[in-house]
């Protein structure tokens, strides 16, 4: 029996490639996209490749859409085996790269956290009953090394100078959710881990990034079959929180 996976923000970039690699591994993948037209394009692309994928429309900040999605998955499949929380943003009004802690707008913080944290937490909580019906389920939170306070406070790290505060703080909060949820679910069949994809050529990562999307998706895909929980991983190596 095929596993059922949900990948958020899967109409492009890392999400699309994560969906592709999971489907290539004999998984039925639900591609969650806020934009229905772009989502359908992504589904068509993967179906042409012979992959078992389908579209579900989802804005992770919309509780009504979250509730409808949970009901849809329950009705069609009765359970969920894999949740990859990939959807995320860097706000268009946040200064890129430089430290914005002394100037970031409250609205930018709120909108960033709505997508990268609050919506993600709500979606995950709503899907837990379906994940608990799986024999072995996994939750993968797509984070960033920029959310590591250990690395951000280490001036010798090349990553420590990259400080868009709203984005970094949202990923730090996401990592905290990973730690706490993994502990809460320790006695269940569900693993919970954070993934750092690396610096990847996407709309978010830019053209100068050294990694292509297939390489960037590898960490998230590998964590869907992890035999450990509560870790922050990049390419098989653990990252300090």
Structure tokens at 212: 């292509």
Residue 37 CB contacts under 8 Å (≥ 6 apart), including other chains: none
Asked if pLDDT for residue 187 goes beyond 80, the answer is yes
Model pLDDT for residues 37-63, shown as the tens digit of each residue: 999 999 999 999 999 999 999 999 999
Is pLDDT at 148 greater than 70 in this prediction?
yes
DSSP characters over 154-169: -TTSTTTT---HHHHH
User: Is the pLDDT at 183 greater than 90, yes or no?
Assistant: yes
pLDDT for the residue numbered 142: 98
Tell me the Ramachandran region of residue 63: left when phi exceeds 0, alpha when psi lies from -120 to 50, beta otherwise: alpha
Q: pTM score, two decimals?
A: 0.95
DSSP string of 168-216, one letter each residue: HHHHHHHHHHHHHHHHHTTTSSEEEEEE---SBSSTTT-TT-SB-HHHH
> Which of 100, 107, 139 lies closest to 123 in space, CA to CA?
139
Number of Cβ within a 10 Å radius of residue 60: 26
CATH of the domain spanning 3-238: 3.40.50.720
* Confidence (pLDDT) at 215: 86
Given this model, what pLDDT does residue 98 score?
87
Per residue in 50-104, pLDDT tens?
Answer: 999 999 999 999 999 999 999 999 999 999 999 999 999 989 899 877 899 999 9
pLDDT tens, position by position, 20-32:
999 999 999 999 9
Place of tokens 């993967």: 46
- Residue 206's pLDDT is 64
Residue 177: what pLDDT? 98
Active site positions, annotated: 167, 171
Q: 120 versus 208: which is more confidently predicted?
A: 120
Residue 126 has pLDDT above 90, yes or no: yes
């Amino acid at each position: 029996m095929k596993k059922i996976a949900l990948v958020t923000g899967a109409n492009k970039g890392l999400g699309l490639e994560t969906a592709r690699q999971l489907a290539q591994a004999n998984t039925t993948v639900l591609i969650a996209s806020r934009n229905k037209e772009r989502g359908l394009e992504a589904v068509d692309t993967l179906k042409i490749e012979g992959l078992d994928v389908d579209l579900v429309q989802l804005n992770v900040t919309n509780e009504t859409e979250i509730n409808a999605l949970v009901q849809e998955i329950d009705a069609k499949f009765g359970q969920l085996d894999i949740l990859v929380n990939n959807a995320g943003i860097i706000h268009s009004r946040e200064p890129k790269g430089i430290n914005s802690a002394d100037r970031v707008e409250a609205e930018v913080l709120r909108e960033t956290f709505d997508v990268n944290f609050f919506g993600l937490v709500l979606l995950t909580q709503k899907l837990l009953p379906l994940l608990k019906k799986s024999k072995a389920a996994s939750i993968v939170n797509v984070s960033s090394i920029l959310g590591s306070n250990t690395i951000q406070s280490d001036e010798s790290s090349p990553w420590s100078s990259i400080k868009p505060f709203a984005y970094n703080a949202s990923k730090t909060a996401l990592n905290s959710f990973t730690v706490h949820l993994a502990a809460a679910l320790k006695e269940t069949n569900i693993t919970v881990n954070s993934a750092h994809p690396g610096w990847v050529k996407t709309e978010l990562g830019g053209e100068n990034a050294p990694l292509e999307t297939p390489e960037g998706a590898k960490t998230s895909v590998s964590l869907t079959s992890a035999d450990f929980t509560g870790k922050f991983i990049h390419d098989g190596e653990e990252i300090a929180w």
